[in-house]
Amino acid sequence: MPETGTSLSHIAELVRAAVPPMHPGGRPIVAGVGVTAAALRLLTGRGGGLGLLATLGTAAFFRSPHRTPPPRTGVVLAPADGTVATIAEVVPPDELDLPRVPCPRVSVFLSVLDVHVQRVPAHGRIREVEYRPGAFLSADLDKASEDNERNSLVLDTQDGHAVGVVQIAGLLARRIVCEVRAGDEVAAGETYGLIRFGSRVDTYLPPGASVEVAVGQRTIGGETVLADLSPCAPRRDR
């Protein structure tokens, strides 16, 4: 019997390692889908299989897998899973407390199949967080950075740099969750937010940053290195 108990415990550990946990922000939605599916099954006697698939699919959408940041300093990590949609030199939006000069912006597009939690791109302190309502244009459009509903934050890194990260809603997204506040100390790779359904995350890097990804490349939030900040001069005004 002890061997059986040990085997079951080992199997349970393997299952926990293989099945990522769910972000708390998704639990009410998953519960709602499950209850609706169960009610339809009771009322009509049909749709049990489809209801189960819908519930499991919704739970998978809100998965929050464990990530291990690479052992590098002076870099910015991808804040989200997805595909690099654009890399451009742009002036940061007004809501970001960053210099009004062109800087590298890396935009990552998240499809409905991607992990939708966002992660802190570097060790540091949150300087500011600002939410702005807006439209729900397709997140792969360049003007979505200015027109869509979005939540912005500025992170002062331990190396003295300032990085902006903007969560942008898409066609299907109607809810942006941000769990950090100004003054919070954060670590690279920690989850800090969630965008429900298709969306985009923009990262504004200090001028002179060396971008290490290419358009079309897949990123893994909290693990993929977006840029090396070693060529950048640290901010002296903060």
Could you tell me if 135 and 50 lie in one domain?
Answer: no
Asked if residue 66 is part of any domain, the answer here is no
Q: Which residue, of 14, 33, 61, is where some domain finishes?
A: 61
Asked if residue 105 is part of any domain, the answer here is yes
Could you tell me if 95 and 145 lie in one domain?
Answer: yes
For the chain, helix (H) and strand (E) counts, in that order, are 4, 14
- Of 6-20, 95-109, 146-160, 218-232, which gets the smallest average pLDDT? 6-20
3-state secondary structure 130-165: EEECCECCCCCCCCHHHHECEEEEEEEECCCCEEEE
pLDDT at 60 over 70: no
**Per-residue model confidence as pLDDT tens digits over 39-59:** 776 777 666 677 667 566 565
Asked if residue 68 is part of any domain, the answer here is no
Could you tell me if 38 and 86 lie in one domain?
Answer: no
> What pLDDT was estimated at residue 1?
46
For strands 103-110 and 199-204, give the pairing.
Answer: antiparallel
Could you tell me if 161 and 55 lie in one domain?
Answer: no
CATH number at residue 114: 2.70.70
| Average of per-residue pLDDT across 56-65 | 65
Active-site positions? 199
Identify the residue with better confidence: 88 or 48: 88
Q: Structural domain of residue 149, as residue ranges? A: 75-228
Q: How confident is the model at residue 149 (pLDDT cuts 50, 70, 90)?
A: confident
Number of domains in the chain: 2
pTM of whole model > 0.75?
Answer: yes
Could you tell me if 90 and 53 lie in one domain?
Answer: no
